[in-house]
Amino acid sequence: MKPYKFYLTLAASVLTCAFVGHAQAADLDHADRAFFDKAAKSGLKEVAVSQAVLSKLGTSAGQEFAQTMITEHSKANYELQQLAARKGVTLPADDGKAAKKWSEKTKDVDEDYFDEMVDDHKDAVKLFEKAAKSDDPDIAAFAQKTLPTLQHHLEMAKTQKEAASH
């Protein structure tokens, strides 16, 4: 094959993949696209905040909770990224604001962190409950699979919040 034919074939292949990805993203309704955006931002925030406070938390149980958030949300973020790629959706990147805010925090870290974790997980549970009813079977399956973990995180956060307030 002559070099120009190779590059022409390669360019055609790349364009075909791009159009397929664009067509898949165009097939998603507004709610599904919003789910990807909100879920990505939420998941990135959970990891960033938990990493920022990990060494600042006053109890080993609090540190264990933060490490669990880092590990389990990183896994969910990876799975969301894989699903988004299959659907032709580009996810937002972490803007670094949450990590910066929490890395500078020195007072009331435990109580404020667990307050935020409860609020964030309440929002995440609502988001994933709605996505679990998506018309897109892949999005619904991902949300249904992830939802029990988020519900468990919410209960864990409530327990930690109660312990931190005493």
CATH number for 87: 1.20.1260.10
Domain membership flag for residue 148: yes
Domain membership flag for residue 64: yes
Q: Is a pLDDT exceeding 80 seen at residue 1?
A: no
Q: What is the pTM of this model?
A: 0.82
Inter-residue long-range contacts of 133-137, CB under 8 Å, 24+ positions, other chains counted = 134/31, 134/32, 134/35, 135/29, 135/32, 136/28, 136/32, 136/87
Q: How far apart are CA 121 and CA 14, in angstroms?
A: 39
The answer to whether 136 and 96 have CB atoms below 8 angstroms apart is: no
What is the domain count for the chain? 1
Ramachandran area for residue 88 (φ above 0: left; ψ -120 to 50: alpha; else beta): left
Query: Residue 136 sits in which domain range?
Result: 29-164
Domain membership flag for residue 9: no
Q: Please state, for a pLDDT cut of 70, what percent of the chain lies above it.
A: 84
Does residue 14 or residue 27 have the better pLDDT? 27
Domain membership flag for residue 57: yes
Digit-coded pLDDT (tens) for 90-113: 999 998 888 888 888 788 899 999
Q: Is a pLDDT exceeding 80 seen at residue 10?
A: no
Q: Is a pLDDT exceeding 50 seen at residue 12?
A: no
Domain membership flag for residue 159: yes
Q: Once rounded to an integer, what is the mean pLDDT over residues 154-164? A: 95
Domain membership flag for residue 131: yes
Digit-coded pLDDT (tens) for 59-97: 999 999 999 999 999 999 999 999 999 999 999 999 888
Domain membership flag for residue 116: yes
Domain membership flag for residue 142: yes
